[in-house]
Chains A and B, each alone.
Chain A
Amino acid sequence: MSDLRDKIAEHAYETTAPNGEEILVVDLAATERIACSFETQRRRVEVAALQAGIVPLRYERNLGTLGNQGQIALLEARVAVVGAGGLGGTVSELLARIGVGEMVLIDPDRYEESNLNRQLHSLEDNLGRDKAQSSRDRIGEVNGAVSVTSHVCRLDQENAHGLLSSVDLAVDCLDNVADRLLVAEVCASLGVPMVHGAVAGTMGQVMTVFAGDGELGQLYGSQDKGGGSHGAEIHLGNLATTVAAVASLQCQEAVKIITKTGEPIRHRLLLLDLALGSLETVDLS
């Protein structure tokens, strides 16, 4: 480890941060070279740099808010993004940019033309491609230090425990009630926190659920009740604006949980309606 830190220090250089402070940084090209010569993952180099007080340049604008310890916690976190469509595409992109070290992407679907209006990783030339794999490829372009595993399958009773057993957090980016309640149930049994998000038209909602919290069931009814698995989005559709807003709020919940800062939206439901310009948090306890 000291050899690695010595090598990072050798490549570090001083620069002036926006607040005028002189800081030591290491850039992308150097972290890539060091990772290659030490036969280790790039995020291991980034963590070692942060531990030595040297800032990987790509995260320099994160640190005023997150701090070195917060950035290290993110780089060492493993997050499942369940659903790689509208919410999932934007969530995985934002988590990669902020520097979450490992992601597990789960989605059985392929891109269709009707996805182009809102799903960030859908492109005119990747229609027909698996969403989970396309998001993995995109994350590789955004932040090559992130380790991504993609699973082209629907999360179900048989595979859910295996897919979620080793994650620190799951982000619910699903598009139906039944699968959400399954993820909530499995996360609860594994002690994994879950960040719920859902959209319909200009409306969206976000909530964080820890093991033992029952609010998602309260919101959607128990899985046994069945009932409609879809909501108002069937009539209202989904807009890119609402998807981006809700995905962003979900990612901030993930950051708060991983870095143990701020106050998660727990026992509460955050509701937004972009048509009204309204944002309210309601008590579910």
Chain B
Amino acid sequence: MTRVNLRVYGSLRSHLTEGTPRCVCIPDGETVGELCDRLGLCRENVTVVFVNSQKAALDHRLSDGDRVSLFPLVAGG
């Protein structure tokens, strides 16, 4: 199993299952997109992904200890 630290921002938080931990265990080799599916987040709403403070795509494969930040699109002024 791979353990990742999860940070979910803004409106995405309201789509998370209540009690979702900050540290989640996922099968080895899982991608960010698959993690979103597991969390019940619609991939279309996850417009910006950072893994360890580096921009990443939904097909990025996660490694043990990764810090994953998921953001919605922010465009208001």
A residues bordering B, Cβ < 8 Å?
83, 85-88, 172-177, 180, 197-205, 218-220, 228-233, 235-236, 238, 271, 273, 276, 278, 280-284
A235 to chain B, nearest CB (A): 6
Q: Contact between A236 and B77 (Cβ–Cβ < 8 Å)?
A: no
A201 neighbours in B (Cβ, 8 Å): 10-11
A203 touches B77 (CB 8 A): no
A235 and B11 contacting across the interface, CB-CB below 8 Å? yes
Give A230 to B45 CA distance when docked, in angstroms: 12
A231 touches B77 (CB 8 A): no
- Chain A residues with CB under 8 Å of B74's CB are 198-200, 203-205, 231-233
Let me know if A228 and B10 touch, CB within 8 A.
Answer: no
Q: Supply 25 A–B pairs (Cβ within 8 Å), ascending by A.
A: A83-B77, A172-B77, A174-B77, A180-B75, A198-B76, A200-B72, A200-B75, A202-B10, A203-B9, A203-B72, A218-B55, A219-B48, A230-B73, A230-B76, A231-B47, A231-B72, A231-B74, A231-B76, A232-B73, A233-B76, A238-B77, A271-B9, A271-B71, A278-B7, A282-B69
| A88 vs B76: C-alpha distance when bound (angstroms) | 11
Instruction: Name B residues whose Cβ lies closer than 8 Å to a Cβ of A.
Output: 7, 9-11, 47-48, 50, 53-55, 69, 71-77
Q: How far is the CB of A107 from chain B (nearest CB, A)?
A: 10
Q: In whole angstroms, how far apart are the Cα atoms of A229 and B76 in the complex?
A: 10
Q: Give bound CA distance, A85 to B76, whole Å.
A: 10
- Complex-state Cα separation, A240 to B9, whole angstroms: 19
- The A interface, classified by DSSP as helix, strand, loop or mixed, is mixed
Contacts of B47 in A (CB 8 A): 231
Which chain B positions have C-beta within 8 A of A175? 75-77
Contacts of A235 in B (CB 8 A): 11
Is B69 within 8 A of A86, CB to CB? no
Q: Is A280's CB under 8 angstroms from B69's CB?
A: yes
Q: Does the CB pair B53–A282 fall under 8 Å?
A: yes
**With A and B bound together, what is the CA distance between A198 and B11 in angstroms?**
15
Q: How far is the CA of A1 from the CA of B31 in the complex (A)?
A: 67
* B55 in contact with A283 (CB, 8 Å): yes
Q: Is the CB of A176 within 8 A of B75?
A: yes
Q: Say yes or no: B77 contacts A273, CB within 8 Å.
A: no
Nearest CB of A to B14, in Å: 9
- A103 CB, nearest partner CB in chain B, Å: 17
C-alpha spacing A140/B65, complex, angstroms: 54
> In the complex, which of the residues B48, B69, B76 contacts A199, with contact meaning CB atoms closer than 8 Å?
B76
CA distance A205 to B76 in the complex (A): 10
- Which B residues are in CB contact (< 8 Å) with A271? 9, 69, 71
Check B77–A232 contact: CB distance below 8 A.
no
A276 CA / B48 CA spacing, docked (Å): 18
List residues of chain B with CB within 8 A of the CB of A218. 55
Q: Which residues of A contact B9 (CB under 8 A)?
A: 203, 271, 273, 276
